[in-house]
Amino acid sequence: MLQRYAEETDCAVHLDPYDSHGGDPAIIIEKSIKESNNRILKRGMYDGGRFVLLDSDRIGPEAVAKALRAGIHLVQQVDCLETHLGKILSGRLNSTPAQAKRELLKTWPDYRKGFDSASLKSRMTLDLIRGSGGISAEWEVFLQTIGLIKRK
pLDDT at site 10: 76
Per-residue pLDDT for 14 more than 70?
A: no
Categorize the per-residue pLDDT at 28 as very low, low, confident or very high, splitting at 50, 70 and 90.
Answer: confident
**Least trusted range by pLDDT, from 21-25, 45-49, 87-91, 94-98:** 45-49
Indicate whether 151 belongs to any domain.
Answer: no
Q: What is the 3-state secondary structure (H, E, C) of the chain?
A: CHHHHHHHCCCCCCCCCCCCCCCCHHHHHHHHHHHHHHHHHHHCCCCCCEEEEEECCCCCHHHHHHHHHHCEEEEEECCCHHHHHHHHHHCCCCCCHHHHHHHHHHHCCCCCCCCCHHHHHHHCCHHHHHCCHHHCHHHHHHHHHCCCCCCC
Indicate whether 150 belongs to any domain.
Answer: no
Indicate whether 152 belongs to any domain.
Answer: no
Indicate whether 41 belongs to any domain.
Answer: yes
Indicate whether 39 belongs to any domain.
Answer: yes
**pTM for this prediction:** 0.79
Number of domains in the chain: 1
Indicate whether 61 belongs to any domain.
Answer: yes
Indicate whether 122 belongs to any domain.
Answer: yes
Indicate whether 87 belongs to any domain.
Answer: yes
Structural domain boundaries enclosing 9? 2-145
